[in-house]
Chain A
């Protein structure tokens, strides 16, 4: 059994009287500890796909199973608990809490789990050190650069040791040099902790960090490339 099983996902939006087929039956698997890049142009349906995998949106048809559990069928309540335990999330625009320090931002997912302040602050501090921000613990987001903020975002997504980490255009707001640093950092930590990392991007250069690249075009899987294997076309 794969860690994540995406099976024949279809999504149809209604725009007035017109039907928009955002996804037309997408299937693929992601293994534990794998770095998977979902590559596609804007409008290809890749973000919709990510939202379904994270349980933020329900598909019209098909299912997503994580650790054998169908997230597409869970209630909001169950999903919240499931995310708390199994899923980390990295946003394009960081989405840090402006009123909180870097440390408090990173500790937040642990707060939701009901972990006491001593333990969670220790874990958050360690995570910030891992992303190279050991000296920025008490800084607020607006006192940090974009790259630093995204590293706080990464620390926040990884602090809970979730088996699955989703990243939505994590380097979208960063220059290429910083992008490379951030990508490397993310991949290294996930590899080290055997966490599966699912990155959605339009930036082909991100592909170099991937174990598996799923290319999406017009709501369909164009091809799946697994490193060390040869490219195989999908019907």
Chain B
């Protein structure tokens, strides 16, 4: 028997018992919709988590700390940085040393925390300028300003409190700008109590303004670590303070090539004795929670699909009772056993498939409705919604319902196949 004939015969048999077929299909529709919508809620939640995380910062970054509890040597020095770069899947390392300095231009001054960084890492970490350009080796004492950092400038001679002053200066166009570690520099009232020698300020210039950003970068000021070291050394000589030539960083961030590798890199670092923190730590926890919720939701959906599966089996068994004679005649007329099995399997799979297809359509509708109602109720604007049906879920939904149909149809099909032809035609 060829497949087309089998197909037509199966459709015909289902069509012959429209009401019952419809009711069975309805069961599958409800089951499929329940499971897809439930899973879509879980997925929507996970996606919302992810989006929230991404807003908070890059998921591929790992921050490394020195182990404060002592033990192994975990000083964040140049040697450590080099070793971090050699860890598998590490894309770049941004090491920073922070130093509090005074910057002055014209009549304005600002006290700012300066981050000394390795220039190579800037691009890899997504530093972007809206004006000017990123730092280059040749920029002696060059600075990169965070978009919001310029608010720190004030005119010390004004009576107005420095926080209330509104200063508008084009940092890129300043004729002369100086930087110094001398915290008294430019202040009108000089504290003369100390006998400390004052270092001379160093010429500097701003080469670029960083794109506005919600994270720390918007407020930061960046400079070549080598320039910074030189300034610190020179000034320390004047003031007679101690200067440690051995460079130790305050803040190290590692960029991993892929979110999935973050955990492995963190683990490697922990084994070496460092302490680490990454968004992924939090993400993993959130994901686990999301998984659990998804499983529970899918379980609830699965119950209804299971009931639908029983419905299919029941329908097919009933159908065998009604068609016993017909099956017997088919056998006597020379239908192969596999054809009878295939016929019943096909009918069951068709019930599952049609139910799955309609159920999928319904799921998209329900999902849309949930998102509209949900957005209204929760006041989420432009959010990606509570329910989310990715392509794989749609495909899995249909595939699963057909599979359920096949499984539910297997026992009846086997039974039909094994009916004795003689008993079947004797049945009146």
A83 touches B337 (CB 8 A): no
User: Min CB distance, A135 to chain B, in Å?
Assistant: 24
User: Min CB distance, B369 to chain A, in Å?
Assistant: 41
**A232 contacts B by Cβ under 8 Å:** no
**A99 contacts B by Cβ under 8 Å:** yes
**B326 contacts A by Cβ under 8 Å:** yes
Partner of B333, one of A57, A112, A114: A112
B337 surroundings in chain A (CB, below 8 A): 76-77, 80
Tell me the bound Cα distance from A81 to B335 in angstroms.
Answer: 8
CB interface residues, B 51-106, toward A, < 8 Å:
none
Partner of B2, one of A80, A99, A116, A160: A116
B421 surroundings in chain A (CB, below 8 A): 56
User: Min CB distance, B417 to chain A, in Å?
Assistant: 9
CB interface residues, B 1-16, toward A, < 8 Å:
1-2, 5, 9, 12-13, 16
CB interface residues, A 99-117, toward B, < 8 Å:
99, 108-109, 111-114, 116-117
CB interface residues, A 64-112, toward B, < 8 Å:
76-77, 80-81, 83-85, 87, 89, 91, 93, 95, 97, 99, 108-109, 111-112
B336 touches A84 (CB 8 A): yes
**B331 contacts A by Cβ under 8 Å:** yes
A112 touches B335 (CB 8 A): yes
Nearest B residue to A89 by beta-carbon distance? B332
User: Min CB distance, B19 to chain A, in Å?
Assistant: 15
A83 touches B334 (CB 8 A): yes
User: Min CB distance, B251 to chain A, in Å?
Assistant: 76
A54, A80, A99 — which one has the most chain B CB atoms within 10 A of its CB? A80
**B342 contacts A by Cβ under 8 Å:** no
**B282 contacts A by Cβ under 8 Å:** no
**A130 contacts B by Cβ under 8 Å:** no
Nearest B residue to A80 by beta-carbon distance? B336
A57 touches B5 (CB 8 A): no
Nearest B residue to A54 by beta-carbon distance? B332
B336 touches A156 (CB 8 A): no
**A51 contacts B by Cβ under 8 Å:** yes
A-B contact pairs, 6 of them (CB 8 A): A51-B422, A97-B329, A112-B335, A114-B1, A116-B2, A117-B5
User: Min CB distance, A22 to chain B, in Å?
Assistant: 13
Nearest B residue to A93 by beta-carbon distance? B428
Interface size, B (range): 20 to 34
User: Min CB distance, B426 to chain A, in Å?
Assistant: 10
Given A56-B421, A91-B425, are A109 and B1 neighbors across the interface (CB < 8 Å)?
no
A51 surroundings in chain B (CB, below 8 A): 422
Partner of B16, one of A80, A99, A109, A113: A99
**B139 contacts A by Cβ under 8 Å:** no
Partner of B335, one of A56, A80, A93, A156: A80
A87 surroundings in chain B (CB, below 8 A): 334
Tell me the bound Cα distance from A54 to B422 in angstroms.
Answer: 10
A117 surroundings in chain B (CB, below 8 A): 5
A91 surroundings in chain B (CB, below 8 A): 329, 425
A89 surroundings in chain B (CB, below 8 A): 332-333
Given A51-B422, A57-B422, A91-B425, are A97 and B326 neighbors across the interface (CB < 8 Å)?
yes
A111 surroundings in chain B (CB, below 8 A): 1, 5, 9
Number of A-B contacts (CB under 8 A): 61
User: Min CB distance, A230 to chain B, in Å?
Assistant: 37
Known A-B contacts: A81-B334, A85-B334, A112-B333. Give 11 more (CB < 8 A): A56-B332, A56-B422, A80-B331, A84-B334, A91-B329, A91-B425, A97-B329, A108-B330, A112-B1, A113-B1, A114-B1
User: Min CB distance, A9 to chain B, in Å?
Assistant: 16
Interface size, A (range): 20 to 34
Nearest A residue to B3 by beta-carbon distance? A114
**B255 contacts A by Cβ under 8 Å:** no
Nearest A residue to B428 by beta-carbon distance? A93
**B182 contacts A by Cβ under 8 Å:** no
B336 surroundings in chain A (CB, below 8 A): 77, 80-81, 84, 112
**B339 contacts A by Cβ under 8 Å:** yes
Top-9 shortest CB links A-B: A84-B334, A83-B334, A56-B422, A112-B335, A95-B329, A109-B333, A114-B2, A80-B336, A89-B332
Partner of B425, one of A76, A95, A156: A95
Given A111-B1, A114-B2, A117-B5, are A83 and B333 neighbors across the interface (CB < 8 Å)?
yes
**B325 contacts A by Cβ under 8 Å:** yes
B334 touches A112 (CB 8 A): yes
CB interface residues, B 375-426, toward A, < 8 Å:
420-422, 425
User: Min CB distance, B98 to chain A, in Å?
Assistant: 82
B332 touches A112 (CB 8 A): no
CB interface residues, B 294-311, toward A, < 8 Å:
none
Tell me the bound Cα distance from A118 to B189 in angstroms.
Answer: 108
A99 touches B12 (CB 8 A): yes
Tell me the bound Cα distance from A89 to B330 in angstroms.
Answer: 11
B1 touches A80 (CB 8 A): no
B339 touches A112 (CB 8 A): yes
Nearest A residue to B417 by beta-carbon distance? A76
B425 surroundings in chain A (CB, below 8 A): 91, 95
Nearest A residue to B6 by beta-carbon distance? A111
Tell me the bound Cα distance from A116 to B331 in angstroms.
Answer: 20
A108 surroundings in chain B (CB, below 8 A): 330, 333
Tell me the bound Cα distance from A83 to B333 in angstroms.
Answer: 7
User: Min CB distance, B334 to chain A, in Å?
Assistant: 3
Tell me the bound Cα distance from A89 to B12 in angstroms.
Answer: 24
B13 surroundings in chain A (CB, below 8 A): 99
Partner of B325, one of A54, A95, A99, A112: A95
User: Min CB distance, B170 to chain A, in Å?
Assistant: 84
B9, B333, B422, B425 — which one has the most chain A CB atoms within 10 A of its CB? B333
